[in-house]
Amino acid sequence: MSDPTQKPSLDVGASPAFVKQNLRVWLKMLKATKHIEATMREKLRMEFDTTLPRFDVMAALYRFEEGLKMSELSSALRVSNGNVTGIIERLVSDGAVLRVPVVGDKRAMLVRLTHKGRDEFARMAAAHELWINDIFSSLPPDTTARLSSIFDTIEHSRGLIAGDDHA
Amino acid sequence: MSDPTQKPSLDVGASPAFVKQNLRVWLKMLKATKHIEATMREKLRMEFDTTLPRFDVMAALYRFEEGLKMSELSSALRVSNGNVTGIIERLVSDGAVLRVPVVGDKRAMLVRLTHKGRDEFARMAAAHELWINDIFSSLPPDTTARLSSIFDTIEHSRGLIAGDDHA
DNA sequence: GTATGAAATTTCAAGCTTGAATAATTACCT
DNA sequence: AGGTAATTATTCAAGCTTGAAATTTCATAC
């Protein structure tokens, strides 16, 4: 959430030119990201008749064969609890996901992909990987390497952006 | 589509290493973008009791004082037609937006900010700019400049990502 | 044991988003 | 003119998303 040690924006380094420059960069990054996301959304719908949220949920479950608790799932995806409930409901009724009670804790539910779900996701993930590759390999030569370098630097800098992903 | 310049294996199957690398970069970019977006969403809600979609609509209308047709608005924001209808409805009932019939075309509606809407947006935009600045100026030194360089290159390359924004 | 609070999940209302269907108007063509 | 196609906007169903409230269960203290 919000960091209590965060200072109000009275930074000395906030010269108007830099402020505008930061805003411009953010808007460009946002636009590029949304464009790619929209492409993935459309392709998932056209070729697999599914949605991006479902894909994201299945991706998380795919990584954890043993299953995840609902709370683990929602915090992994950084979405609200109530959100996951609905998506899982539909995945269950489609036979892609299985709900298993957790022994020793009657509150919790373990959620995991069915065999069918794993197969489906494996095919979607392979396609998704290629779609992304198509886009990035059509960009100017060093784009991926340069972006990679930037995001690595950010991650190692304890910046406000880096996710605390243990992977 | 494929333009082999420096990377090996662009045209044919794309080497597995590059495919994975592209995917990794995309996931990092997506995560960073979503994190910033979530921050903006939360701040808009906390400090101005509004939402990101409303902010986006108002931003578009702010740029066009004379107003925009619904179709222009939805294509500017790259969202569906039906989407804008609902958001505008709420903005109208909040007194931030005005609907004006277009002379000579009984189908079209011109939508523009009211005085109150302009004032509100001006305050939100100023805050938003500083929030973004806070984030980007907390990143490693050259981050903004390097990202800017990348996105400029992409724009000038007629890549698949660049938006055709004439402004 | 019992109370009190924390944790896990679901439910809910409100709003966002999409694609498709509908309705109304305008543009074009012969 | 008359007919067909394209444009403009709204409506609709389905699904996504959030934050808050409600429920059930667990853990800890007393």
pLDDT tens-place string over residues B102-156: 999 999 999 999 999 999 999 999 999 999 999 999 888 899 999 999 999 988 8
Q: Which residue has the higher pLDDT, A6 or A126?
A: A126
Determine, yes or no, domain membership for A106.
yes
Protein contacts on strand C: list nucleotides below 7 Å from a Cβ.
7-13, 15-21, 24-27
**Does residue A80 form part of some domain?**
yes
| Residue with CA nearest to D27's C1' atom | A105
Spatial contact of B95 and B115, defined as CB atoms under 8 Å apart: no
Return the minimum-mean-pLDDT range out of A6-10, A21-25, A92-96.
A6-10
Mean pLDDT over B72-91 rounds to: 95
A143 in any annotated domain: no
List, in sequence order, every residue forming a beta bridge with B112; answer none if it has no partner: B98
Question: What's the CATH code of the domain at B118?
Answer: 1.10.10.10
Chain D positions with an atom below 7 A of a protein C-beta are 7-13, 15-21, 24-27
Show the domain range for B126: 19-139
Mean per-residue pLDDT over chain B, rounded: 87
Quote the number of domains for chain A. 1
With respect to residue A145, please indicate whether it lies within any of the assigned structural domains.
no
In a domain, B167, yes or no: no
* Interatomic CA distance for residues A12 and A10, integer angstroms: 6
Q: Is residue A42 part of a domain?
A: yes
Q: Indicate whether A166 belongs to any domain.
A: no
Q: How far is CA A34 from the centre of its chain?
A: 13
Give the number of beta-carbon pairs within 8 Å between A and B: 167
pLDDT for residue A12:
56
Residue pair A155/B33 in contact (Cβ under 8 Å)? The answer is no
* Domain assignment of residue B86, yes or no: yes
